[in-house]
Chain A
Amino acid sequence: MKRRSQRRATVAPAFRPPSSALLTERELRRIIDTVLRLAKTTGAAETEVHVDEISDALTRFANNAIHQNVAEHGLTVSIRTVVDGRTARATTNRVDEDSLRATIEASLSLAHSQPKDPRLLPLPGRQRYRKVNRFAKPTAALTPEDRARAVRRACDLAIKNGQVAAGIFSSGQNQMAMGNSSDLFASYRGTHAEFSITMQEGSAASWAKANSANIRDFDPQKLAARASEKAHLATNARELAPGRYTVILEPAAVLDLVGFLFYDFAATALEDKRSCLNDRMGTQLFGKNISISDDVYHSFQLGAPFDGEGLPRQRVLLVDRGVPKNLVYARNAAKRARKQPTGHGFALPNEYGEAPMNLVFSGGDSSLEKMIASTDRGLLVTRLWYIREVDPYEKVMTGMTRDGFFLVENGRVTSAIRNFRFNQSLIEMLRNVELLGPAVHATGEEAFEMVVPAMKVRDFHFSEVTKF
């Protein structure tokens, strides 16, 4: 391994404090401009540059103590060149000029190795973007001590209640910028904080989690208290026979299920005939109480207002009162379908095209309490686990309940029950929704964050029971 020379020209500061400060937008532009300048001298007809930078920290606890505590800083420069109708991408995390030049050359070499792509489009030019503000100074200012103290309080609560706590408290900031040789420039900066806690009481457990751009949007202590209370309720679980039940799905459980639908709304997925929406667009596929949009500008959403090609993300109504109405399109898919691109493309080259990444379900005016009160016999689900697709066209998913599964009888929670395996079609589930809560920013473990409501669903299919 050749040692990196300290004397090479650099386009980022050689040393900054490790605290977490990100580069300024001017510094990001300097990296992009350097790549574009170097690429001109190497024969690239067109060039696109993505710069991503993160500064993250995560405090992990288990058995009522911190056992892992980490921080990372990273910056990557990803370069796509176009030459003679061919394109390819190369990525590095070194920002000296020699490394950037080598990365451009690697991209060109990859591009030259393939046949011409007749469908390749010229790079888009300058765009206009709606502003989103997802950078919160209180989150960026969180220290390891702040996180440790909050974890300590949660663990103290567990000890006081005879329980065992495990979880994470993370915070960080990230930014991305992209530019291309057609004068496009886009940038985004955001923060993120997350607290997740599992409280265990004997063999029972329950869980609570929240995340947001702003740490002030949630209180770790309240989450710990909620998990603690539900863990106590989860003790002495009894076994029920599997079968079809009315279920009340908390938002995290809804999220982790419907999260598996997002790619089906990609125009490329329909073209490839791997979407469950093939031959079903425009039909009454779901119940009339189901409407879904993709909307990065929603106040509960996170993320950048532009896609991997630099196009502004648009709000798209995907499902209108149960009828799949629209798809999302990257530029190439849009051209083939004679539609306008919607700003949902992945960075090129890729074979997947696009996907809606900011799903927003319309909600209702019910609440978990009302759903429970209206249920003669049903099951309350806190969280689901290990969800996988069994049948891609009927969208049958399998998985387990986890960390707080309760029997509801005559309008009240009466006992904890042993966890079930489900095998359930999402299409059928979204036909069987009886009540909806208000849509909230939900966070689970199987899908990225979305805006979804709690749901009361009839005839949810559980096939087997486990031992706890």
Chain B
Amino acid sequence: MWDLCTNSLDTAKLRGASYADVRVMHLRQRDLTTKNGQVGTLAQSESIGLGIRVLVNGAWGFSSTDRLTRDGVAACAAQAVSIAKASALAKRSDVVMAAEDAYVDSWQGPFRKDPFEIPLETQLELLLAADTAMRGVKGVTLTETGMQFRKIDSWFASSIGSRIHQRKVISGCGIAATSFQSEEIQKRSYPNSFGGQHALQGYELVDSLELSKHAPRIAEEAAALHSAAQCPEKTGTVILGASQLGLQIHESIGHPIELDRVLGQEANFAGTSFLTLDKLNNLRYASDIVNVVADARLDHGPGLGTFAYDDEGVPAQCTDIIKDGEFRGYLSNRETAHLVGLQRSSGTMRTESWNRLPIIRMTNISLLPGPWSFHDLIADTDDGILMETNRSWSIDDRRYQFQFSTEIGWEIKGGKKGRMLKNPSYSGITTEFWNSCDAICSFDQWTLWGTPNCGKGQPMQTMGTGHGASPARFRNVRIGTAFSNQ
């Protein structure tokens, strides 16, 4: 692989590139699903190719190819140079990149059990057992289970001399029960929606989640939701379960801090951000108990945003995003770092595959745990609603106004968890919401959730991001708006 990298870099330099970086990536994926006790998808795929990014005349070009021959990658590099020259026809200024050292390294993410080495029969047996357990519950009309595994090898080389090989193994699994009754569809998922939990782990993740053990419970909840009371429409106290809070972080903190959005580079598609440059170190983003970091280091945990180097060859870092409630940092790359006064990229350039240009992406954007036990948090709440497991999510294109609904809610009265509520939802304005946070649970309730389906960029790229969260309480929140006035 290094020969292919060297060959394409040499071609780019010969043709006038002042800087170039290249990625060869080999991606392997396995997908298994069941539905109503039958195998649904059973598929495996692999893809290998090379993508090269070049800077010529102060402008970028990128090209990719699956023709991994000496001629093929040289032609690809030459095409990237041609494209960069065309880019220069419509440039306003030359690209300036923050300095970075060259690294020669090899890194492998942590996994104990290679999921591709576990017999398929074992994997399907587990899914079918969970499926059977859900179908045994009266009122359940649809059962779904799934596992997804990925193994990604990437070889990164750049014209400043970096040579970095990384291997990641990613696992994910989940189950869901749906119930259609009385003109209403209700659904429960475990351990999360979007296919469950996903992490930079091997098959040990699947083992740890005990899908069959939780299957009857979520099936019973799906059926019981039909007779539950409707979530009221009011302004009040909300306690968000950790997985829902993970998505809240993703949408209302993770996206607005992407510096490419802030600078207008995503204005046509993903949108911009309310976090204009004047707000850095000058905005009370949240209450003073809120601390949020962007942490790609393995020390933070095996998240979907964990790596040793980003796809620009910058080492993984931990950046303060919100410190004691104050807005402290953006996600940057080598091109944008200087615009916020940084000497160095925060290391967040990531690419979906060999045929996509790396762009600024969330790594693990996590809310640090607080001091509360979950029991004490409930006991301390006189009147509120506990909302768990995301059902729908939406936020405006500058990341101010959001609305989320969850699969299930629970009334909290007099410090006790009470009756089940159906169709819970809440909405608000990002900074008002985060400033209303008055309690965060401790590390024993904290999970590094994986969001596997974050879409951004044109052409669209899907990326996995990590979000550590524990349950937290928010005051004076608008509740029930999604179902108001229907």
Contacts and interface: CB of A to CB of B under 8 A. Distances in A.
Interface in B467-486: 478, 481-486
A76 interface: yes
A109 B44 CA distance: 10
B264 A113 contact: no
B69 A421 contact: no
A117 B38 contact: yes
B83 A464 contact: no
A64 B89 CA distance: 12
A465 to B, nearest CB: 8
Contacts, number: 311
- Central interface residue in A93, A244, A389, A461, by most chain B CB within 10 Å: A93
Interface in A309-344: none
B39 A114 contact: yes
A273 B142 contact: yes
Contact of A117 (B39, B121, B183): B39
Nearest to B335: A67
Nearest to A60: B458
Interface stretch (B211-219, B265-273, B309-317, B322-330): B265-273
A89 B43 CA distance: 5
Contacts of B62: 68-71
B185 A423 contact: no
Contacts of B92: 63-65
Contact of A110 (B42, B153, B478): B42
A400 B401 contact: yes
Interface stretch (A177-185, A192-200, A359-367): A192-200
A74 B69 contact: no
Nearest to A461: B485
Q: Taking chain B's interface residues, is the majority helix, strand, or loop, or is none over half, making it mixed?
A: mixed
Interface string A112-151: 0111010100000000000000000000000111011101
Given A69-B83, A155-B90, A351-B41, A63 B63 contact: no
B408 interface: no
Nearest to A387: B394
Interface stretch (B45-53, B376-384, B437-445): B45-53
A393 B185 contact: yes
A101 interface: no
Contacts of A196: 268-269
B40 A15 contact: no
A18 B63 contact: yes
B101 interface: no
Interface stretch (B74-82, B297-305, B364-372): B74-82
Contacts of B93: 65
B392 A18 contact: no
Nearest to B122: A113
Interface string A269-283: 000111000110000
A397 B242 CA distance: 25
A55 to B, nearest CB: 10
A349 B394 CA distance: 32
Contacts of A152: 89-90
Given A59-B87, A166-B268, A421-B394, 17 more contacts: A65-B90, A66-B87, A68-B60, A73-B65, A90-B44, A92-B47, A93-B48, A109-B120, A110-B44, A114-B120, A145-B89, A274-B178, A350-B41, A392-B185, A396-B483, A464-B403, A466-B398
What 3 pairs across the A-B complex have the smallest Cβ distances?
A: A351-B40, A113-B120, A144-B86
19 contacts: A1-B1, A66-B60, A66-B89, A68-B62, A68-B458, A70-B61, A70-B357, A92-B46, A93-B46, A94-B48, A114-B39, A151-B90, A350-B41, A387-B394, A390-B391, A390-B425, A393-B185, A400-B395, A421-B401
Interface of A: 1, 3-4, 6, 14-19, 56-76, 78, 87-94, 103, 106-107, 109-111, 113-115, 117, 119, 143-145, 147-149, 151-152, 155, 164, 166-168, 170, 196-198, 200, 205, 207, 244, 272-274, 278-279, 349-351, 385-394, 396, 398-400, 402-403, 419, 421, 423, 425, 445, 461, 463-468
